[in-house]
C-alpha cells in the first residue's frame, strides 16, 4: 500500500554550491601546543589559565603574566607613589612606575656647599632615568646581540590603558593660569618634582620648567619654595597619598598632591597659605594641565579627606620610618650604623631649612665693618665664624649689600674652614682640584697672593669659577680636566693641594633635599672608589713637605674616615691635625653642613 505524501511548512533548502575539497590535515595538525590543555577558540581561556585584567583575547605569547591596567595594584604589592607595580627584585621607587633599570656610574654631586647654586649630580653627562616606565627596551641576548625585548602589553590594548604607550610628561606645558597665582606655582613645582622622579636634580628641573613656562621672578621663587618643601616632606606625602588615593596616581598627579600636602602639613608657624586655599588652587592647577586634568576630582577628594582626617592619617603614616623621617629606608639604616648616638639629630637637622651664610672678603673689609654695613641696610646678622656671617632672614644675592662688588660671597660656615687649614703663603703654587663652583678657590686667593690652578671636569661649571673670580677681582689658572688623570699636568709639583673629591653629598641634604631621593645605596662604594683614584693621582703632584687637604661633604665613613685612613697607609702620608667629621648643626653658635677634613703632609 502506497504511503500518502505529508505536507511540510519548511522551505525547501537550496542545493549547496560545489567547492574544492580541502586538503587533509597532516598527522601533527591537531597536536596540542606544549603546556596547553588543548585547542580552543578565539578568546577562550584554558582551564588552568588565570584571567588577566583584560578579557578579550589569549595571553600574549611568551608573557609569563598578563599585564594589568595602569595604576592597578596586586593584592600583595604596595603601591608606589606614582603608580605601577613595585619592582620584584628592586627597592621601592620614590617616583616613577615600573622596574628599576641598571644605571650607569653615578655622577658626583661635588662641593655644592660653596655657593648658592649647587652642582648637579648629572653633570656633565645625564644619568639614566632611575625609575623608567615599563616599555620595550633593549637587552643583550645570549649571543651578545642587543635586541628589543618583546612587550608584554596585549596588542589590542588601548593606549590610554597602557603606561608604556602613554606620552612623556608635559613638564613644559604653558597653562593659562595667572603667573602670580598659587595654582601657577603649584603646577610649575609639580612639573619639577616629577622631573626629579625621572632623575633630574631639583635646581636644574626648576630652571628648566621656569624657562619653559615663562615664569616671572616672583613665581620662580614660589615654585622653588614649594619644590624644596616637597623634597623635605616627600616620605610623609608619599605615605599619605598611598593611604588615601583609590589607586596609584600618574606621576604628574602624584607630584601635584605631594606639593599640596607639603604646604598643608607644615607647622602652623611655617604654613605659608591657608589649607582651603591650597586645596582650591591645587584643583585649579590640576584642571589647567593636560597631564592632571582628568584627575582633578581625585585631587579634590584626596586633599579634602586629609583636611577631615588629618590627625588619624598622620598617626597611621607615622608608623612608617620613611614617612616619619622623610628619608629612604636605606639612608636611615646607613645613618644608624654610622652614627648610632646622633642619627636622629642628624636626620632632623637635614630636614630643616638652611641659613644664608656669607664669607666676608678680608681683602676688602673686616667682619666688623661688614656687620655695620648690614645694620645700615636694616639686615640683622650674626657672626658664626672667623669670616662667617649668618643673615637672620635669607634674601636673594642681588639684595645682599656689597655682593656684586665682591665684599662677600655665599659659602657655608663649615666649608669656610678649608682655605685656612691649607695654610697657603704668598707665592706658593696651589692646586684646587674639583674646584667648581669656586667658593674655596676664591677664599684661598683672598687669604694669600698665590699661584692657583683651578681644575674641574666640566668646562661649563668651570665658567662659574671664572665668574666668581671676576666678581671678587681675583685671578687663577682654569683647567678643564679630570682629577683622576694626569694628562693635563705640566710636571711641576704643587706646594698645596685641595682635594674636594666627589661624594654622595649626604652631609648637605638640608641645602639640597633632593639628594636623598636621587642617591642609591650602591653610589657610596662607587664614588669612594673614584675618590681614591683621585687622591692617589694628586699625591704624586705634591712637593715634598707639601700639604694635601682631603675634603668631602659626606657623612658615610666609607667616603670620609675610612678613605683617609686607607690613603695614609697606601702613600705613607703623615696625617696632621684637622677637624675630621663635622656633623650637620643648626644651632645658634654652630650652624653648618656636614663635612669631613683630613690634612696630610708629604715626607721630604
Which sequence positions are flagged as catalytic? Answer: 553
> If we measure between CA atoms, which residue out of 382, 379, 186 comes closest to residue 287?
186
Which phi and psi (to 5°) does residue 577 adopt? -65, 135
Alpha-carbon distance of 92 to 82, in angstroms, equals 11
How many separate helices (H) and strands (E) can be counted in the chain?
18, 15
- 574-582/595-601 β-pairing: antiparallel
Cα 117 to chain centroid distance, Å, stands at: 16
- Contact by Cβ (8 Å): 600, 576: yes
Is residue 381 within 8 A of residue 435, CB to CB? The reply is no
HSE-up (13 A, CA, CB side) for residue 296:
15
Task: Give every strand in the sheet of 542-552, ordered side by side.
Answer: 477-480, 451-456, 429-433, 494-500, 542-552, 595-601, 574-582
Residues 170, 140: contact at Cβ < 8 Å?
no
HEC readout, 377-439: CCCCEEECCCCEEEECCCCCHHHCCCCCCCCEEECCCCHHHHHHHHCCCCCCEEEEECCCCCH
For residues 230 and 328, what is the distance between their CA atoms, to the nearest angstrom? Answer: 15
* Cell, residue 192: 619639577
Closest CA to 84 of 252, 241, 248: 248
CA 95 to chain centre: 10
CA distance 139 to 74: 26
Task: Write the burial class of residue 104 (CB in 10 Å: 0-12 exposed, 13-18 middle, 19+ buried).
Answer: exposed
Lookup result for grid cell 644619568: 127
Q: Is 253 left (phi over 0), alpha (psi -120 to 50) or beta?
A: alpha
Q: Is beta strand 388-391 parallel, antiparallel or unpaired with respect to 356-360?
A: antiparallel
Residue 339, all three cell numbers? 652614627
d(CA 443, CA 428): 15
Check: CB of residue 248 under 8 Å from CB of residue 211: no
Amino acid at each position: 500500500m502506497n504511503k500518502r505524501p505529508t505536507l511540510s511548512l519548511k522551505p525547501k533548502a537550496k542545493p549547496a554550491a560545489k567547492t574544492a575539497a580541502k586538503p587533509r590535515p597532516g598527522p601533527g595538525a591537531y597536536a596540542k601546543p606544549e603546556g596547553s590543555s588543548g585547542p580552543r577558540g578565539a578568546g577562550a581561556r584554558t582551564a588552568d589559565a588565570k584571567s588577566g585584567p583584560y578579557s578579550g583575547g589569549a595571553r600574549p605569547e611568551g608573557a609569563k603574566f598578563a599585564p594589568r591596567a595602569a595604576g592597578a595594584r596586586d593584592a600583595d604589592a604596595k603601591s608606589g607613589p606614582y603608580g605601577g607595580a613595585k619592582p620584584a627584585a628592586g627597592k621601592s621607587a620614590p617616583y616613577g612606575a615600573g622596574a628599576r633599570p641598571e644605571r650607569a656610574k653615578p655622577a658626583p654631586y661635588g662641593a655644592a656647599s660653596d655657593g648658592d647654586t649647587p652642582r648637579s649630580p648629572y653633570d656633565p653627562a645625564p644619568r639614566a632615568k632611575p625609575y623608567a616606565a615599563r616599555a620595550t627596551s633593549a637587552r643583550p641576548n645570549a649571543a651578545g646581540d642587543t635586541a628589543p625585548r618583546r612587550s608584554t602589553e596585549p596588542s589590542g590594548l588601548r593606549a590610554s590603558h597602557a603606561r608604556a604607550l602613554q606620552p612623556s610628561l608635559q613638564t613644559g606645558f604653558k597653562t593659562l593660569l595667572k603667573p602670580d597665582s598659587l595654582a601657577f606655582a603649584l603646577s610649575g613645582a609639580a612639573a619639577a618634582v616629577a622631573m626629579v622622579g625621572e632623575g633630574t636634580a631639583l635646581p636644574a628641573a626648576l630652571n628648566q620648567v621656569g624657562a619653559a613656562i615663562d615664569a616671572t621672578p616672583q613665581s620662580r621663587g614660589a615654585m622653588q619654595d614649594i619644590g624644596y618643601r616637597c623634597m623635605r616632606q616627600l616620605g610623609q606625602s608619599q605615605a599619605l597619598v598611598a593611604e588615601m588615593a583609590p589607586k596609584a596616581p600618574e606621576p604628574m598627579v602624584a607630584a601635584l598632591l605631594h606639593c599640596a600636602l607639603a604646604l598643608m602639613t607644615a607647622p602652623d608657624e611655617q604654613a605659608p597659605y591657608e589649607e582651603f586655599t591650597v586645596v582650591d588652587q591645587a584643583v585649579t592647577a590640576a584642571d589647567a594641565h593636560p597631564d592632571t586634568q582628568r584627575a582633578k576630582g581625585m585631587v579634590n577628594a584626596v586633599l579634602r579627606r586629609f583636611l577631615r582626617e588629618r590627625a588619624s592619617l598622620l598617626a597611621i603614616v607615622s608608623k612608617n620610618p620613611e614617612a616619619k623621617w622623610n628619608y629612604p629606608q636605606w639612608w636611615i639604616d646607613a645613618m644608624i650604623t654610622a652614627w648610632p648616638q646622633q642619627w636622629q639629630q642628624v636626620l632632623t637637622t637635614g630636614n630643616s631649612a638652611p641659613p644664608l651664610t656669607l664669607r666676608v672678603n678680608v681683602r676688602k673689609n673686616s667682619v666688623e665693618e661688614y656687620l655695620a654695613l648690614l645694620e645700615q641696610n636694616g639686615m640683622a646678622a650674626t657672626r658664626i665664624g672667623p669670616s662667617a656671617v649668618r643673615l637672620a632672614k635669607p634674601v636673594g644675592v642681588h639684595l645682599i649689600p656689597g655682593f656684586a662688588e665682591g665684599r662677600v660671597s655665599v659659602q657655608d660656615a663649615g666649608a669656610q674652614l678649608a682655605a685656612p687649614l691649607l695654610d697657603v703663603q704668598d707665592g706658593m703654587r696651589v692646586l684646587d682640584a674639583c674646584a667648581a663652583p669656586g667658593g674655596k678657590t676664591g677664599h684661598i686667593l683672598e687669604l694669600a697672593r698665590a699661584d692657583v690652578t683651578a681644575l674641574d671636569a666640566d668646562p661649563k661649571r668651570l665658567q662659574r669659577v671664572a665668574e666668581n673670580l671676576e666678581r671678587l677681582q681675583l685671578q687663577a689658572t682654569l683647567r678643564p680636566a679630570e682629577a683622576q688623570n694626569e694628562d693635563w699636568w705640566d710636571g711641576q709639583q704643587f706646594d698645596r693641594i685641595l682635594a674636594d673629591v666627589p661624594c654622595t653629598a649626604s652631609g648637605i641634604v638640608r641645602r639640597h633635599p633632593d639628594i636623598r631621593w636621587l642617591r642609591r645605596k650602591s653610589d657610596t662604594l662607587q664614588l669612594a672608589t673614584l675618590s681614591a683614584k683621585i687622591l692617589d693621582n694628586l699625591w704624586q703632584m705634591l712637593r715634598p713637605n707639601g700639604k694635601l687637604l682631603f675634603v668631602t661633604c659626606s657623612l658615610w665613613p666609607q667616603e670620609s674616615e675610612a678613605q683617609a685612613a686607607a690613603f695614609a697607609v697606601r702613600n705613607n702620608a703623615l696625617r696632621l691635625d684637622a677637624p675630621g667629621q663635622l656633623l650637620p648643626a643648626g644651632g645658634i653658635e654652630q650652624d653648618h653642613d656636614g663635612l669631613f677634613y683630613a690634612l696630610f703632609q708629604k715626607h721630604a
